C-alpha cells in the first residue's frame, strides 16, 4: 500500500485541502485574560502550522455563558473577531485553510467563570464528576442549573451569531463541537439528559437541540463549510449513555441529511485508549455518513497511512504532534523524527512551548 495518499489533496465539502492531515482542535489557554481574545501570538502559532491540509482552532466559546476554562478564546465580541482575523490572515498568507470550533461547555464550568457568578447551565440539574481550571487552580464542577425550555432558542441564536462572527473573521468554515461531554453532548446522552419536555426522552427529542444548532449554523455558512465533532464512545467529563451505538447511529443519520463538509470522530476515549467498548462499531458509524470522514485520537504516521490508504478515512486529525512540530506534515512526509513534547507548557503561559518548537530546517541549522 502506498503511503502517498495521506499527502495528496482532498476536499471537505467545498473546502479544498492540499493534503489529508488535519490539525486537531487543541486547547492551550493563552487568550488574553481581560477579553478572551486571541492576539499576535496566536497568529504566529497557527501560521507556523499552515502546512496542515486543514487547521481546526482550539474550541472557542459562542458566548460568555459558554465559557468553561480560564484563558480560552471566544468568538462573540468585536475584539475577539479582530484577534481571529489576525489568525486567519496569517494562515491564508501561507496557503493554509482554517475553521473555528464553536463551543458551549454547558455544565463543565464554574460560577467564577460565568457572567455574574451564576451557576453553569445544562439539560438537567446533574453534576459532572469533573474539574475545570478557574485561572488559579483546578476546581470541581458544581451542580448546574437545568435550562428552561424558553432559554434554549437563545443559545441556538448564540451559535448562529458565532457562525456569523466566524465568517467576519475570515475563516473557511466552522466545526460544531458536539463531543467530549460539553453542552450538545449533554443533550444527546441519556446519562446527562433527564428532561421530560421536547428536548428529552426519546432519541428524536434528545437530538433536537443539535438539529436546531445545525440549522442555525448552516443558515450562515451553507452545509458544505460546516463540520461536526462527535465522541461516541468517550466518557470525557463524566458523560455517559446507555447505548452509544444506537444514540450515535441516530445522530449521524440525522447529520448525513445535511450534506456537511465532514464528520470528525474521536475514536475511543478522548486523549486516551483507542479501545471501543463491547457493542460499539466505529466502521458502522462512519458508513452512515456520505461526506468526508475524519478520524482522531492517538494517530501516528503508520496508523494514518493505513487508514487513508485503505479508504477507511479521508482525513486524519493529529493533536499533540502538531503542538511540538509546527512542520508536522513535512516531517510525516519525510518520515523524519518528531520533536519531543514539553508537557509543562501545554496550558497557559507565553511563547515557551507554543511558538518556539523548531522545524526540521531550523534544527539542521542549529546542528551545524
Catalytic residue numbers read: 182
Whether 177 and 163 have beta carbons less than 8 Å apart is answered as: no
Whether 42 and 88 have beta carbons less than 8 Å apart is answered as: no
Backbone angle region of 49, left / alpha / beta, with phi > 0 → left and psi within -120 to 50 → alpha: alpha
Whether 43 and 85 have beta carbons less than 8 Å apart is answered as: no
Give me the residues paired with residue 22 across strands.
54, 317
Count other Cβ atoms within 10 Å, centred on residue 149.
Answer: 11
| Joined grid coordinates for residue 40 | 499576535
Q: Name the nearest CA neighbour of 38 among 8, 58, 64.
A: 58
Q: What is the dihedral of CA 350, 352, 354, 360, to 10 degrees?
A: 160
Q: How far is CA 40 from the centre of its chain?
A: 22
Rounded alpha-carbon distances, angstroms, from residue 317 to 58, 59, 215, 263: 13, 15, 25, 11
Whether 127 and 151 have beta carbons less than 8 Å apart is answered as: no
DSSP secondary structure code for residue 74 in this structure: B
Backbone angle region of 13, left / alpha / beta, with phi > 0 → left and psi within -120 to 50 → alpha: left
Rounded alpha-carbon distances, angstroms, from residue 322 to 183, 222, 286, 338: 27, 29, 25, 10
Angle, helices 78-93 vs 152-168, to 10°: value is 40
DSSP secondary structure code for residue 179 in this structure: -
Dist CA 7 CA 5 (whole Å): 5
Integer-rounded Cα Rg, in Å, for the chain is 19
219 class by beta-carbon count within 10 Å (0-12 exposed, 13-18 middle, 19+ buried): exposed
| Joined grid coordinates for residue 60 | 472557542
Amino acid at each position: 500500500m502506498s503511503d502517498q495518499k495521506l499527502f495528496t489533496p482532498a476536499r471537505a465539502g467545498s473546502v479544498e485541502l492540499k493534503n489529508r492531515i488535519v490539525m486537531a482542535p487543541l486547547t492551550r489557554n493563552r487568550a488574553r485574560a481581560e477579553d478572551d481574545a486571541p492576539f499576535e501570538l496566536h497568529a504566529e502559532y497557527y501560521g507556523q502550522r499552515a502546512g496542515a491540509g486543514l487547521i481546526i482552532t482550539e474550541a472557542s466559546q459562542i458566548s460568555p455563558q459558554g465559557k468553561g476554562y480560564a484563558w480560552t478564546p471566544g468568538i462573540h465580541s468585536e475584539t475577539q473577531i479582530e484577534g481571529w482575523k489576525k489568525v486567519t490572515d496569517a494562515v491564508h498568507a501561507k496557503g493554509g485553510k482554517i475553521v473555528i470550533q464553536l463551543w458551549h461547555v454547558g455544565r463543565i464550568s464554574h460560577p467564577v467563570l460565568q457572567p455574574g457568578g451564576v451557576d453553569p447551565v445544562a439539560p438537567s440539574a446533574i453534576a459532572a464528576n469533573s474539574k475545570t481550571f478557574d485561572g488559579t487552580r483546578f476546581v470541581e464542577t458544581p451542580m448546574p442549573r437545568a435550562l428552561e425550555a424558553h432559554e434554549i432558542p437563545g443559545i441556538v441564536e448564540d451559535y448562529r451569531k458565532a457562525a456569523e462572527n466566524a465568517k467576519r473573521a475570515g475563516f473557511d468554515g466552522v466545526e460544531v463541537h458536539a463531543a467530549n461531554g460539553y453542552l450538545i453532548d449533554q443533550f444527546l446522552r441519556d446519562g446527562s439528559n433527564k428532561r421530560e419536555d421536547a428536548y428529552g426522552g426519546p432519541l428524536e427529542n434528545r437530538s433536537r437541540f443539535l438539529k436546531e444548532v445545525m440549522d442555525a449554523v448552516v443558515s450562515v455558512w451553507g452545509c458544505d463549510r460546516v463540520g461536526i465533532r462527535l465522541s461516541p464512545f468517550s466518557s470525557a467529563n463524566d458523560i455517559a449513555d446507555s447505548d452509544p451505538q444506537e444514540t450515535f447511529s441516530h445522530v449521524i443519520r440525522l447529520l448525513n441529511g445535511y450534506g456537511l463538509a465532514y464528520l470528525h470522530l474521536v475514536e475511543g476515549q478522548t486523549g486516551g485508549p483507542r479501545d471501543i467498548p463491547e457493542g460499539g462499531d466505529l466502521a458502522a458509524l462512519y458508513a452512515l455518513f456520505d461526506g468526508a470522514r475524519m478520524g482522531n485520537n492517538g494517530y501516528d504516521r503508520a496508523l494514518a497511512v493505513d487508514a487513508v490508504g485503505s479508504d477507511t478515512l479521508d482525513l486524519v486529525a493529529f493533536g499533540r504532534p502538531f503542538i511540538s512540530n509546527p512542520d508536522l506534515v513535512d516531517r510525516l512526509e519525510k518520515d523524519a523524527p518528531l520533536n519531543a513534547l514539553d508537557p509543562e507548557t501545554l496550558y497557559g503561559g507565553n511563547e515557551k512551548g507554543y511558538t518556539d518548537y523548531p522545524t526540521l530546517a531550523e534544527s539542521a541549522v542549529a546542528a551545524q
